[in-house]
Amino acid sequence: MISPFNDIVTRRLVLRLMNAEVISACLDGKLPEAALLLGAKIPVELLENLNTFNYNRQQLEADQNYMPWSARAIILANGNTMVGIVRFHSTPDPEYLRVYTRGAVELGYRIFSEYRRMGYAKETVRAVLEWAGVNFNITSFVASVSPSNVPSLSLINSLGFIKVDEVMDDIDGLEHVFMLNLNFITKQLH
């Protein structure tokens, strides 16, 4: 096990935690400052949806244990450019996920438009699932996806997530809720 605060490195990507200073600079619209703190170029598209950072800040203020689960920049290893963001919505086993299973975490991700359809989301999701398993022994994951987001629905299905519910999100509207239980998949293979 390596420190859960370290970069998560894949073949093409570096998933780097965005600390409170980086998040504040993003929320203030100070991308050059945020980029300097992060150590990577940040596209202006990041500013189009700051809900992730507002939520992230609230979670960190409520629970310091949230830090390793919070927002990570998805950075191209060759080029040092941020292409998206990934995060878990909470620390493991939040009350709202207990209707589906115990010990789960919910993840969310966004790839900026210029970098979509290149496999970065799949590479990122696989990496954070492995990270959560190795560092925290997490085997149950939840993802909520809009029924109109066909690329994300395809990705989630390709990774073995199974639809378990539909919910109305106050911000995002109707979402399909998917769950992946790695223990269940392992048992099915043996």
pLDDT value at 17 more than 90: yes
pLDDT value at 189 more than 70: no
Q: Is residue 16 part of a domain?
A: yes
Q: Is residue 71 part of a domain?
A: yes
Helix, strand, coil share (%) of the chain residues, nearest 5: 40, 25, 30
Instruction: Give the strand pairing for 105-111 and 140-145.
Output: parallel
Q: Can you list the alpha helix ranges (DSSP code H) found in the chain?
A: 20-27, 31-38, 51-62, 120-136, 150-158, 182-189
pLDDT reported for residue 186:
42
pLDDT tens column, 48-99 = 888 888 888 899 889 889 999 999 999 999 989 999 999 999 999 999 999 9
Per the prediction, the chain carries an average pLDDT of 90
pLDDT reported for residue 187:
43
pLDDT reported for residue 113:
95
CA nearest neighbour of 107 among 97, 119, 118: 97
Q: Is residue 3 part of a domain?
A: no
pLDDT value at 149 more than 60: yes
Q: Is residue 39 part of a domain?
A: yes
Q: Is residue 157 part of a domain?
A: yes
Mean pLDDT, rounded, for 10-14: 96
More confident position, 3 or 82: 82
Q: Identify the band that residue 173 occupies on the pLDDT scale cut at 50, 70 and 90.
A: confident
| CATH number, domain containing residue 31 | 3.40.630.30
The whole-angstrom separation of Cα 11 and Cα 135 is: 20
pLDDT reported for residue 154:
95
pLDDT value at 6 more than 80: yes
More confident position, 56 or 128: 128
Q: Identify the band that residue 2 occupies on the pLDDT scale cut at 50, 70 and 90.
A: low
Q: What domain range is 180 assigned to?
A: 8-189
N residues, the chain: 190
Q: Is residue 1 part of a domain?
A: no
If phi over 0 gives left and psi between -120 and 50 gives alpha, with beta otherwise, what is residue 62?
alpha
Burial of 171 (0-12, 13-18, 19+ CB in 10 A): exposed
Q: Is residue 2 part of a domain?
A: no
- Counting the structural domains of the chain, the total is 1
pLDDT reported for residue 79:
87
Instruction: Give the strand pairing for 13-17 and 72-76.
Output: antiparallel
The whole-angstrom separation of Cα 171 and Cα 135 is: 31
pLDDT value at 171 more than 80: no
Percent with pLDDT over 70 in the chain: 95
